[in-house]
Amino acid sequence: MARLDVTEVFHGISFPGHLHTQDSLQLALKFPFQDTDILIVSYPKSGTTWVQEVVSLISSKGDTHISENVPNWARSPWLEQYYCAAVLESSSSTPRVLTTHLPQHLLGPALHGSKAKVIYVSRNPKDVVVSFYHFHKMANFLPEAGSFPEFLNLFLEGKLSYGCWFDHVTGWTNQTATMNNLYHITYEELSQDPRGAIKRLSSFLQCPLVEDEVNSCVKQCSFSSMKHNKMVNYTLVPEAIMDHDKGSFMRKGKIGDWKNMFTEEQSQHFNSVFKSKMQGCTLEFVWDERDKEETRADKLSPLNNTKL
């Protein structure tokens, strides 16, 4: 299935036709979740692959065998992508770990009444847009990136593939008030306090780890380790689909890289759009590596009402 130039528009949102069909998207909306499932939810470039790796390592108590031998899309497939059903059929592992980029308003009904554990991953949106821009340049299944100012406008207008970041984040995080089984983790929390973030996530997953197991997880999911692990760095994907001469999936792995791309004017415009679209949202984002005091879990996951 190449379909590199195909875009599927589904409920007004564009999805790359290389990975999605109308059928696969439609099937996702009726996905029969099991109460034992773990679902990782994110807007692209928010740290999805990182959390997939962390969840694999927590589930295997720090054992790196799966991390070193099974590609991330085979251990935690995207439920809206066309190959998901085949992957699930060929795997007997429990709990099943699934991933999705679908917004809450589309996937919410399928999750209604389910006890599946949902992990929502967010990242500050200025870094998301920069990471997404660079990813568009190497991913041949996404539209041309164009110039950064053009790309930034499309992001702010919610017109990029996978839809509007603002709707995605507010849609899912608003659910924390009513969904006991929803856990919110941030890219920045994982970056600034990996040990604490892994311990908290392992508690949510009811998979407590001893110190040596935590150490192994921390080491295996570090940026340098993941950058060289072909099971998660996407170098297994053929060049025609992801051109690694044009960039790396594991690009910089930093907080605040947006400062290298945004002009002062773009940053101010972004802030005003952010302010109007996020009105009433109490989430606080870490925009800069130096915002160390923001690493406290209660700051980073203010809506996290998970009952452990």
Which residues does the annotation mark as catalytic? Answer: 101
Identity at 260, one-letter amino acid code: N
Q: To the nearest whole angstrom, how small is the minimum distance from the Cβ of residue 131 to ligand A3P?
A: 3
Contact with ligand A3P (CB under 6 A): which of 3, 219, 246, 252?
Answer: 252
**Residue 5: exposed, middle, or buried by beta-carbon count in 10 A (0-12, 13-18, 19+)?**
exposed
Interior CA angle at 71 toward 70 and 72, to 5°? 115
Category of 305 on φ-ψ map: left (φ > 0), alpha (ψ -120 to 50) or beta: alpha
Contact with ligand A3P (CB under 6 A): which of 18, 45, 168, 199?
Answer: 45
Helical H segments across 174-287, by residue range: 187-192, 194-204, 211-220, 223-228, 264-277
Structure-token pair, residue 161: 């593939």
Give the whole-angstrom CA distance, residue 50 versus residue 54.
Answer: 6
Rule CB under 6 A: say whether 49 interacts with ligand A3P. Answer: yes
Interface segment toward ligand A3P; rule CB under 6 A; list 111-119, 236-244, 252-260, 264-272: 252-260
Identity at 111, one-letter amino acid code: L
Nearer to ligand A3P by Cβ, of 177 and 219: the residue is 219
Give the whole-angstrom CA distance, residue 30 versus residue 25.
Answer: 9
Q: To the nearest whole angstrom, how small is the minimum distance from the Cβ of residue 92 to ligand A3P?
A: 26
What sign for the dihedral angle of Cα 154, 14, 33, 74? negative
Rule CB under 6 A: say whether 76 interacts with ligand A3P. Answer: no
Give the whole-angstrom CA distance, residue 179 versus residue 117.
Answer: 10
Q: To the nearest whole angstrom, how small is the minimum distance from the Cβ of residue 247 to ligand A3P?
A: 8
Residues within window 115-174 making contact with ligand A3P, judged by CB under 6 A: 127, 131, 134
Query: Torsions phi, psi of 276, nearest 5?
Result: -75, -40
Tally of CB atoms within 10 A around 113: 8
Interface segment toward ligand A3P; rule CB under 6 A; list 7-15, 21-29, 166-174, 244-252: 244-252
Binding characters for ligand A3P, 253-282, by CB under 6 A (x = yes): x---x-------------------------
Tally of CB atoms within 10 A around 161: 20
Interface segment toward ligand A3P; rule CB under 6 A; list 81-89, 107-115, 219-227, 268-276: 219-227
Rule CB under 6 A: say whether 242 interacts with ligand A3P. Answer: no
Contact with ligand A3P (CB under 6 A): which of 139, 221, 237, 242?
Answer: 221
DSSP-based three-state secondary structure for 72: helix
Nearer to ligand A3P by Cβ, of 44 and 171: the residue is 44
Nearer to ligand A3P by Cβ, of 219 and 299: the residue is 219
Contact with ligand A3P (CB under 6 A): which of 21, 24, 46, 186?
Answer: 46
Q: To the nearest whole angstrom, how small is the minimum distance from the Cβ of residue 162 to ligand A3P?
A: 11
- Sole residue written with tokens 């802030």: 271
Give the whole-angstrom CA distance, residue 91 versus residue 78.
Answer: 14
Among candidates 173, 58, 46, which has minimal Cα distance to 101? 46
Q: To the nearest whole angstrom, how small is the minimum distance from the Cβ of residue 291 to ligand A3P?
A: 16
Residues within window 186-205 making contact with ligand A3P, judged by CB under 6 A: 191
Rule CB under 6 A: say whether 223 interacts with ligand A3P. Answer: yes
Question: Which residues would be at the binding site for ligand A3P (CB under 6 A)?
Answer: 42, 44-50, 127, 131, 134, 191, 221-223, 226, 250-253, 257
